[in-house]
Structure 1
Amino acid sequence: MTLTADDIIAIHQLVALHGHLVDGRELHRLDELFTPDVVYDVTAMGQGVVRGIDEFRALSESFADDARNPIGHHVTNIVVTEGADGGATVRSKGIGVLRDGRTGSVVYDDRVSRTPHGWRITARQVSRAGR
């Protein structure tokens, strides 16, 4: 199935929603972002592989007040590529703003799938930018 312009816009919206929910601590809404069995790989950030929404929620809650956790997660440079399975891959760049004003950058590599509730992230790998 070919991705339509509406699909690409919906995927852009999906990727952008992550920062709003995490920064706003609206973790009860994570099902709007992820499939229940999402695989979220933050090994490059020293946190291993997180499996499932509940594990992601627990990690996010435990890390929320840590000085290393950005208070602002911003996504840019979103590129959507159609997958052979009817899904898509998405590559984007993240900019994190820390409490002390310092910034950092990451690369998000996502797999997304169409579900009965709209597009959802099934897997995300976070890498340090420039590495």
Structure 2
Amino acid sequence: MLHELTTEDHRAIDRTLALAGHIFDLGELDRLEEIFTPEAVYDLSDVGAGTFEGTAAIRNGALALGAGNPIAHRLTNIVITGHEDDQATAQSKGLIIMADGSVGSVTHRDTLRLENGSWRISRRVILAQRTPLGGLHLTHAAER
């Protein structure tokens, strides 16, 4: 059955995505089930931290990373990019602040699933933003 996304769905998806930063920043890893499905895949391979499958693995991965975790996650520019049945995809931008004061920019590519009336992330891919304009300026510089 096709589930049309309502305004309430959009708000619930936004809340789930935003809540992730609060949970990680506060170290409340016992709350991961509020944002992830039990078998969720969290792909941090682009930033060198590997891929974790399931909330227990995500929790253990965060603990193993320890002081290498960001101290602050900021999420913005959420765009729901598609939906089918009880699944939605979203893309958002993120800023991470590290303990040494450095700041990084990432893109979140999320797949969310509606389960028991709640939207949860079933797959999250984190991609680092390493160049301005997605590298487009490098192509144009070569053309000049």
TM-score surpassing 0.5? Answer: yes
Structure-1 separation of matches of 2:36 and 2:86:
17
Ranges in structure 2 where 5+ consecutive residues have no aligned partner: 135-144
- Please tell me the root mean square deviation across aligned C-alpha atoms, in Å: 1.2
* Higher Rg of the two aligned structures: 2
Larger helix percent: 2
The answer to whether 1:80 aligns with 2:100 is no
Number of residue pairs matched? 129
The answer to whether 1:99 aligns with 2:99 is yes
Q: TM-score, normalised by structure 1?
A: 0.93
Deviations 1:2-58 (A, max 9, x none): 100000000000000011000100000000000000011111011221100000000
Q: TM-score, normalised by structure 2?
A: 0.85
Secondary structure of 2:84's counterpart equals: coil
Is the 8 Å Cα contact of residues 87 and 111 (structure 1) preserved in structure 2? Answer: yes
The list of structure 1 runs, each at least 4 consecutive aligned residues, that deviate by more than 4 angstroms after superposition, is: none
Secondary structure of 1:83's counterpart equals: strand
Q: Quote the residue 1:52 is aligned against.
A: 54
1:17 to 13, 16, 19: 19
- The Cα of 1:104 is off from its aligned counterpart by 0.4
Ranges in structure 1 where 5+ consecutive residues have no aligned partner: none
Deviations 1:61-87 (A, max 9, x none): 111322xx2100110000013312331
